[in-house]
Amino acid sequence: MSDGLVVVDKPGGLTSHDVVGRVRRLARTRRVGHAGTLDPMATGVLVLGVGQATRLLGHLTGTDKAYDATVRLGTSTVSDDATGDVLERRGARGVTEEQVRAGAAALTGDLLQVPSAVSAVKVDGKRAYALVRAGEDVALAARPVRVDAFDVHALRPVGDELDVDVTVRCSSGTYVRALARDLGAALGTGGHLTALRRTAVGPYDLAVARTLEQLEDDLALLPLADAVERAFPRVDVDAEQARLVAHGVQLRAEGPGGLDLPAQGPAGFFGPDGALLALGELHRGRSRYLAVFAG
């Protein structure tokens, strides 16, 4: 077994845990995890870590995401997608493209978004989706999210409803299903998601994703050092500094001779031979390590 990332093009119908199980079998280790789930209905980019790369996953989870999706206006569902029971049918006749584009534009920028009731958000220690399935009413608190783009590409009448193809670029924690719901609410039609394909997680997109069938033939891992360099800023240290980093010793990051660390977020620390040493961040003028890989 090696350490590294696997970028999977997840098929519809499988849970993220199903995909983890497949890769565990292929990698012959249980040390496999994912950087953020995809609903069973959704397809596309699912980033998995194998071995020591599992230590990166919590930091990759917070990266921005991109999606292609189809919103159906005219019907609302309990889950805000096509898998849930119908709550109300209003139809969307008379809704114009101009209205749809204006509604999508209003749902960009910094928002307070109420997550979908059928979601993994915890309420009193229990998952919201479990409470909904048990017949309980769930009221989730709004959370700050950021939607960088909610672009409308095509509109297609489907009976008295309207399908809208969109792309979304957003911060981690944003529910595209909730955007579909809120767009429908703003237009007075109701709305839900009928298709969702994640096209990117941070720097990892469909161009580097592989299907499960391709992975069955060749479980090629993105090496740990390459994975860190692609996702985070790089900090190069000399031989003595490398020795200290390998032992978890904090290094000065201010003043002459200090490390050039980003003001916010993690960075990869690399030795003079190009080897990955650690993932760390700036903390009170010194380096603090989130994961040490050397030694």
Q: Which residues of the chain does CATH 3.30.2350.10 include?
A: 4-63+204-227, 65-201
The whole-angstrom distance between residue 172's C-alpha and the CA centroid of its chain comes to 6
Q: Which residues contact 105 (CB under 8 A, 6 or more apart)?
A: 150
Q: E strand or H helix at 276, and its extent?
A: strand 276-283
The answer to whether 9 is a known catalytic residue is: no
Q: Which position among 3, 9, 18, 39 bears the catalytic label?
A: 39
Cβ-contact 112, 142 below 8 angstroms: yes
- Under a CB-based contact definition with an 8 Å cutoff, are residues 235 and 259 in contact? yes
Return d(Cα 143, Cα 169) in angstroms, integer: 17
Provide the residue type at 206 as one letter: L
**What is the CATH class of 232-292?**
mainly beta
CATH fold, domain 65-201, is Pseudouridine synthase (3.30.2350)
Task: Specify the pLDDT at position 141.
Answer: 80
Can you tell me the distance from the alpha carbon of 63 to that of 205, in angstroms, rounded to the nearest whole number? 12
Order the strands of the 267-270 sheet from edge to edge.
234-236, 267-270, 276-283, 286-292
pLDDT for residue 120 = 63
Identify each DSSP E strand in 142-225 by its residue range. Answer: 143-158, 161-170, 191-201, 204-205, 222-223
- Token pair of 12, please? 């519809």
Give the global pTM. 0.90
Confidence (pLDDT) at 108: 98
Contact 187, 87 (CB under 8 A): no
pLDDT lower than 50: segments of the chain = none
Give, in words, the CATH class of 4-63+204-227. alpha beta
C-alpha–C-alpha distance, residues 29 and 24, integer Å: 5
Question: Residue 257: its pLDDT value, please?
Answer: 72
